[in-house]
Amino acid sequence: MFRAYMRGFGAFIAVALLCGCQKSTDQKSDTPAPLKAGSGAAFKVEQVPPPFDLKTPPADAVKTASGLIYKKLVTNAAGQAPKRNDTVMVNYTGWKPATGETFFTNQAKGQPMMLNLSTTAAAFTEAMQLLKTGEKAVLWVPPSIGYKDEHKGTAPETLVYQMEIVEIRPAPAVPADVAAPPATAETTKGGSRFIVVRPGTGAEKAKFYDTVTYNYTAWDTTGRMFETTETKKRPSKIAPYRQAAALEEVLTQMTSGERVRVWSTGEKMAPNGKPAPGAPTGPVCYEIELITIEPGVAPPPTPPDVAKPPGDASKTPKGTFYKVLKAGKGGPKPKPTDTVKLNYTGWTTDGRMFDSSTMRGTPAEFSLQGVVAGWTDGVPLMSIGDKYRFWIPDELAYKGAPGRPQGMLVFDIELVEIKAPAPASPGAADHPPPPPHHP
């Protein structure tokens, strides 16, 4: 759910608008996209004559409290004005006012470009709400509000844009209680608050190992939307256990057709407590609508000794704890350079499962040189048919890597087959296979 938000902009608009629209031409990393050097070749931008001398705004231009200056060229009283979280399709041209040079235009393309007002720079979020569909205006955008992020480096200049709103794609409505839950909200075990916006039509609640399809929209306490699937019309489809624990908890309390509003924090709703770029920390509000539930295969139960290695567990010299759950018939053991087929399930020490080949219905195959160090250390103790439980400390697991399970990990592993190592392909050492499967 916490992927980088709203990347559907065109290549130029993504840099020139989404990432600021206000780029200095003195630094390679900050130049407007059409002017940015690429392999030494300069971009040739169609030059569009400005409607008038842009050095100084005309006397009838309007200046807002933020420093934005605008003058409407075309008005449309019957048009619709966008709201702060809407996505607008725009035609736009940008000039350097000192020289009248065009640094970007989509005029030749004949197609409007997409601009998400919830994620663009402040000047454009403000300016687009001052216009209506069919209206056209010239904007003087000072650098203080023309960047999405703080500008670093040489002082940039005020730039001038001609903007026309062609279409508005409305965002989901901001809840009136977006800033805080009402007193009637229920509380999950993990501390999130929620209310049912619309009851479900299904009879069964989602299980953590089912595959669920759902839509969601998320806002900060000011009502700024920072993530959604609803505007893009691309629902998320995933097993709840692959999401943040707080989100898993909510999804597994829902039935198909149900819509809930949830108040939590950005940290709790993000995998491993680390919100994605652009997502807020602190209080957040989500609306989640569960569309379908596809029954999954139940994984093995959580081990009773998952919290820490028991007293009868053995320990390798490198620090991997293990216990034999089932002995096979003996025989050869894999070398650290071998490839193995095995069935496995992994848990964090709080008992939360994060992966299982059992649920996929087929053994997994890994090179023992391309997995976490605890596997390379522990699996060579096994023979075919053996089933072990391993407690792998963080320094032999993912070492705090973002997007990976944190802390000591517990794996139940059954060795199915030992295969000779495959011939190394060119560059293989630079691109090792991934650790045991994890989202």
**Whether the Cβ atoms of residue 211 and residue 199 lie closer than 8 Å to each other:** no
pLDDT at 434: 38
Tokens (6 digits) for 436 = 């045991």
User: Rounded to whole angstroms, how far apart are CA atoms 231 and 225?
Assistant: 11
Structure tokens at 324: 């034999």
pLDDT at 271: 82
Show Cβ contacts of residue 263 under 8 Å, excluding neighbours closer than 6 positions. 180, 181, 185, 192, 193, 194, 283, 284, 285
What are the residue ranges spanned by the domains of the chain? 11-169, 186-294, 314-430
pTM: 0.75
Q: What is the pLDDT of residue 155?
A: 57
Spell out the SS3 assignment of the chain: CCCCCCCCCCHHHHHHHHCCCCCCCCCHHHCCHHHCCECCECCCCCCCCCCCCCCCCCCCCEECCCCCEEEEEECCCCCCCCCCCCEEEEEEEEEECCCCEEEEECCCCCCCEEEECCCCCHHHHHHHHCCCCCCEEEEEECHHHHCCCCCCCCCCCCEEEEEEEEEEECCCCCCCCCCCCCCCCEECCCCCEEEEEECCCCCCECCCCCEEEEEEEEEECCCCEEEECCCCCCCEEECHHHCCHHHHHHHCCCECCCEEEEEEECCCCCHHHCCCCCCCCCEEEEEEEEEEEECCCCCCCCCCCCCCCCCCCEECCCCCEEEEEECCCCCCCCCCCCEEEEEEEEEECCCCEEEECHHHCCCEEEECCCCCHHHHHHHHHCCCCCEEEEEECHHHCCCCCCCCCCCCEEEEEEEEEEECCCCCCCCHHHCCCCCCCCC
Question: Right CATH number for 186-294 from 3.40.50.720, 3.40.50.80, 3.10.50.40, 3.40.50.2300?
Answer: 3.10.50.40
The reported pLDDT for the residue numbered 35 is 26
Fold (CATH) for 314-430: Chitinase A; domain 3 (3.10.50)
Predicted confidence at residue 387, as pLDDT, reads 98
Give the largest CA-CA distance in the chain: 91
Class of domain 11-169 as given by CATH: alpha beta
Residue 285 sits at the vertex; the CA angle it makes with 279 and 287, to the nearest 5 degrees, is 110
Residue in 101, 91, 96, 85 with CA at minimum distance from that of residue 17: 91
Cα–Cα distance list, 307 to 127, 320, 409 (Å): 55, 15, 9
- Intervals of the chain under pLDDT 50: 1-41, 152-154, 426-439
d(CA 57, CA 71): 8
Sequence-distant (6+) residues with CB within 8 A of 220 are 226, 280, 282, 283, 284, 285
Q: Report the pLDDT value the prediction gives residue 30, as an integer from 0 to 100.
A: 30
CA distance 82 to 87: 8
Q: What are phi and psi of 122, to 5 degrees?
A: -55, -35
**Residues 272-299: tens digit of each pLDDT:** 788 888 789 999 999 999 999 999 999 9
What's the rounded Cα separation, in Å, for the pair 225 and 141? Answer: 23
Same fold for the pair 186-294 and 314-430: yes
Q: Is 405 within 8 Å of 345 (Cβ atoms)? A: no
Half-sphere exposure (Cβ direction) of 436: Cα atoms closer than 13 Å: 29
At 2 the pLDDT is 29
How crowded is residue 29: how many other Cβ atoms within 10 Å of its Cβ? 9
Those residues whose C-beta lies under 8 Å from the C-beta of residue 218, and which sit 6 or more positions away, are: 225, 226, 227, 228, 269, 279, 284, 285, 286
